[in-house]
Amino acid sequence: MMLKTILKQVASLLIILGIIIIIPGIVAIMYAEWYSFAGFTISGLLISLFGYANYKCFEEANDPTYQHSLNIAASGWLAIMIFGAIPYYVIAHLTPLEVMQAFVPAGQNYTSSLLNFKNPLHALFESTSAFTTTGLTMAYNEPSVGKAILFYRSFSQWVGGAGFIVMALAVFKDVPGRSAVLLYGSESSGTKLKSNVIETARSIWKVYFLVTFIMFLYISIGTLLILPDYGFYNSLFDAINHAMTGQSTGGFSVLDDSIAGYNSAKMDYLFILPMLLGGLSIPFFFRFIFLRKFSELWTDIQTRAILIASVLGSIGLSVLLFNSEGVNDPVREGLFQFVSALSTTGWQTSNIGGWSDLPVLFIVSTAMIIGGSAGGTVGGIKIIRALLLQKGLRWYINKIFHSKSTIKSVKFDGNLMLPARMNKELANAGVFVLIYLLFVFFSTLITIYFMGSEYSMADAIFESASTQGTVGLSSGITDPSMHPILETVYIIQMWAGRLEVIPVLVLLRVAIYGMKKRKI
């Protein structure tokens, strides 16, 4: 019965995924990419039909419990990653080599990166990186995969950013109240915008769409003003893709060298705002835009912390980059890359693989591992946990100087917490951070073993932290030529990083031991 319940909910996600996959076919028609159109249409229809058939088979399954919801989140996202890889694989095999090469920009003589997706592991990596909003890629030369694939990558990140389960709750009306709450909490922070979870899911998508649309206007107008010779339609295509990948903090780009491909300092500064906004929480946007609580810009603890950290961290990284070889503009690169890392967006304007070890370790420890706001689309341990741990450390030290009979409460994020609750919150945050760092640690060991000799330990730590935090910045280790074992490890990390690890561990436990209780 547990399996039927899980399969029913996963099937509903596949129905939505199939529809999502068909949408890039519209872009394929616009750019006359007929093989891509065929690939998206065939893949989308088959996935939706498969999902619908399974949904009907298990329609009478029980409603999800708490244990079900965590397994549904983990297995559902795994299914999305796997089935989302099908269009890459199908289009790569459908498209003739001469058509692929026609995607390569004029004046370039490299082979189309679409060929990489004939390898099913590369296709799975790209799908995982897209839907988990990581941004590492097997499309080494992005423009050479065609406009439709570029749009699919960006659209996947945008949809994955707000969450598939949240989307399913917004679409399907027959999810019972208790089950809806459990499913919503398994994927998101659990923060309610409305009294009803279904209405909360719909409000999340309204806010998400609105902010993305505003960013589209901002980027398109900014590009047209800064680069008037770039072309109107090129500016619009870039803007819609970068608006989606910026707001989802996914970081995929339509350019060969990410944002550095514009070769413009003004364009670098233009993209600071989308990264900052992507790092903020959707509940904050809801209160700021719809409830008009403008004071939230400073009173919201996470928003205030991100703004302060962005300023201080950018200064710190810029200072360190002054002493790093191969950095042409330390201030510009330091500002951009720190905000990109903290928001876990992953847009890149600097050759991080050429940095010295100190700035690499600085950006890992102060930005990539921490990440942005809980309730947003970011990765990392989330800035709210970092704030809670530092508050808890101060509380723990200060209570040593009080008598045993003193009850020392703590005020945090507008809440007054007694010692029992504070201990519980600290324990939860501490366990999560420990598991998170263990993932990074073991991934680093595997990376060191399989990476090329030209990379350092700092590069391995950077790449592992970037993957676990769904950041997407790269020191150069992630590449189509990387070892399949390392590529598989990174796929698992991106999956676990998107779901904050616990659902993946629960699914692993169920796969080994089932639902039976075990003594620890």
- Does residue 200 register a pLDDT over 90? no
**pLDDT tens-digit map of 3-54:** 888 898 899 899 999 999 999 999 999 999 999 999 999 999 999 999 999 9
The three-class DSSP label of residue 497 is helix
Instruction: Tell me whether residue 14 is in a domain.
Output: yes
CA distances from 493 to 111, 222, 248, 339, 477 (A): 29, 35, 18, 22, 15
pLDDT tens-place string over residues 234-262: 999 999 999 999 999 999 999 999 999 99
For 260-273, the pLDDT digits (tens) are 999 999 999 999 99
Residue 87 has pLDDT above 80, yes or no: yes
Inter-axis angle of helices 419-450 and 383-398, to 10 degrees?
120
In a 10 Å sphere around its CB, with 0-12 CB exposed, 13-18 middle and 19+ buried, how is residue 169 labelled?
buried
Question: Which of 45, 50, 140, 34 has the alpha carbon at shortest distance from 91?
Answer: 34
Query: Which pLDDT value is given to residue 188?
Result: 58
Query: Over 80: is that where the pLDDT of 189 sits?
Result: no
* pLDDT over threshold 90, residue 192: no
- How many domains in the chain? 1
What phi, psi does 253 have (nearest 5°)?
A: -130, 160
- The better pLDDT of the pair 227, 503 is held by 227
Residue 138 lies in a domain: yes
Residue 158 included in any domain:
yes
State residue 46's pLDDT score. 97
**Longest pairwise C-alpha distance within the chain:** 79
pLDDT at 106 over 60: yes
Condensed to tens digits (0 to 9), the pLDDT of residues 49-74 reads: 999 999 999 988 877 777 778 888 89
- Determine the average pLDDT of the residues in 344-370: 94
pLDDT at 187: 61
Structural domain range at position 170:
1-187
Between 219 and 396, residue with greater pLDDT: 219
Alpha helices in 279-329 (DSSP H): 282-285, 296-299, 301-321
What is the three-class DSSP state of 398?
helix
Give the model's pLDDT for residue 182.
60
DSSP state of 7: H
Domain assignment present for 330? no
Q: Is residue 13 situated within a structural domain?
A: yes
**Can you give 420-443 as a three-state secondary structure string?**
HHHHHHHHHHHHHHHHHHHHHHHH
User: Helix, strand or coil for residue 386?
Assistant: helix
Confidence (pLDDT) at 401 = 77
Distance CA 35, CA 41 (A): 10
CB-based contact 182:63 (threshold 8 Å): no
Looking at residue 195, its pLDDT comes to: 64
**In this structure, is residue 317 part of a structural domain?**
no
Percent of the chain whose predicted confidence (pLDDT) is above 70: 93
- Assess whether pLDDT exceeds 60 at residue 285: yes
> Which of 211-215, 292-296, 459-463, 512-516 is the least confident region?
512-516
Q: What's the mean per-residue pLDDT of the chain?
A: 91
Kind plus residue range of the DSSP H or E element containing 412: strand 410-412
Average pLDDT over residues 424-452: 95
Mean pLDDT, rounded, for 163-182: 65
Reading the block at residue 109, the tokens are: 């003589």
Percentage of the chain exceeding pLDDT 90: 72
- Please tell me the least confidently modeled range out of 79-93, 240-254, 418-432, 459-473: 418-432
Query: Rounded distance, CA 5 to CA 42, Å?
Result: 28
Q: Which residues are registered as beta bridge partners of 417?
A: 410
Residue 287 in any domain: the answer is: no
Residue 398 within a domain: no
Tokens, residue 226: 């800064």
**Residue 170 pLDDT greater than 80, yes or no:** no
Phi-psi region of 194 (alpha: psi -120 to 50; beta: other; left: phi over 0): beta
Across-strand partners of 412?
415
Q: Does residue 175 carry a pLDDT above 60?
A: no
The pLDDT of residue 433 is above 90: yes
At position 292, the amino acid (one-letter code) is: R
481 close to 454: Cβ distance less than 8 angstroms: no
For residue 173, give Cα distances in angstroms to 170, 190, 349: 7, 19, 44
pLDDT of residue 520: 62
